[in-house]
Amino acid sequence: MKAEKKRSILLIYTGGTIGMKQDPDTLALVPFNFNQIEQEVPELKKFGYRIDFHSFDPLIDSSNVTPELWVELVRLIKKNYDSYDGFVILHGTDTMSYSASALSFMLENLEKPVVFTGSQLPIGMLRTDGKENLISSIEIAAAVDGKGRAVVPEVCIYFENKLYRGNRTTKYNAENFSAFHSANYPVLADVGIHIKFNTQNILYPEVWGRELEIHTELDMNVAILKLFPGITAEVVRSVLDIEGLRAVILETFGSGNAPTGRWLTDTLKKGVERGLIIMNVTQCQAGSVDMDTYETGIALKRTGVVGGYDITTEAALAKLFFLMGQYSDIKDVKEQLVKNLRGEITGW
């Protein structure tokens, strides 16, 4: 009888709280040597999987993440794609949703799990949430169906008993172990005694067997402008006039509404006429932009602003970086922007 092949996982450590422990002398949190991970988490040996490690150097707090790290990550995944069944990325929680969103666009034809995880308490602390997050992430990244295909061939975030589609998440809690939510899309798996995969929510390739394509060209000429009562024309103009800017994410009220004053609509219209992409994303955590219901939304639509539907700001930013890196013509970017490319928007 042919022996079953050992499952294999590449565990990538970029930095963040999960890989820290308390220095006994200073009590400060310092990153531990990743080669000692099995010492910190002896449970890893019980898997019976081949788990290889790759540690970034230097390790970074995720507040220091830049698109260069995303490029490094997708290149690393591409290089190792055929050698592993899945990838687990340990990453700081602060910008994890941005990184997961970015990788979802940069990895095309993905057929293997890429699971981001981290923790609120370092893995070297007694009450850590890091161990469970790490162990379940590995199990999820290794899960296959009866045909030997990945159960979750997506870029996801696993945190505190839930598996989310990465580009649907936001870090919403700086204190609780349950730090992420995905307000506009149901979870991909619930983890209790069993790991319950909600396969109806998981994106599967239309055709299996395509080669993984990576996209490393990103254009970061994007600004985020959050509306607030009392915002002035100067504030809006100073953002829209940034040299070289190609796109603005306009964080609007409720279902995509903004003040109707001419000072705003005229400024936005001029920006659009000049070739700026202005994308309407709601400040609300849940729900969708709808520029057809209220006068305040209709006025925005007339200026040529593009509706972001139910996308998160994190995913909108990543999608713009990615699309602007792919297309030089603004018409192409706008055309793709309203399409559902990686499950980041619902139904349109």
Binding region for ligand ASP (CB under 6 A): 15-17, 61-63, 92-94, 118, 120
* DSSP strands (E only) in the chain: 8-13, 20-22, 29-31, 50-55, 86-90, 107-108, 114-117, 155-159, 162-165, 170-171, 180-181, 189-191, 195-197, 213-214, 222-226, 247-252, 277-282, 306-307
Residue among 65 and 258 whose Cβ is closer to ligand ASP: 65
Of the candidates 294, 80, 95, 273, the one whose C-alpha atom is nearest the C-alpha of residue 180 is 95
Letter for the amino acid at 27? Answer: L
**133 or 257: CB nearest ligand ASP:** 133
For residue 157, which of 95, 111, 212 has the smallest C-alpha distance? Answer: 95
The token pair at 233 is 């024309």
Min separation Cβ 224 and ligand ASP, Å? 19
The minimum distance between CB 80 and ligand ASP, in angstroms, equals 23
Decide whether 59 or 300 has the Cβ nearer to ligand ASP: 59
Token pair recorded at residue 236: 């809006």
Between 122 and 307, name the residue whose CB sits nearer to ligand ASP.
122
Q: Which position among 17, 128, 169, 252 bears the catalytic label?
A: 17
Minimal distance, residue 151 CB to ligand ASP, in Å: 27
CA angle 284, 344, 108 (to 5 degrees): 155
Residue nearest to ligand ASP (CB): 92
* 66 catalytic residue (yes or no): no
Q: How far is the CB of 94 from ligand ASP (least distance, A)?
A: 3
Tell me which residues are annotated as active site: 17
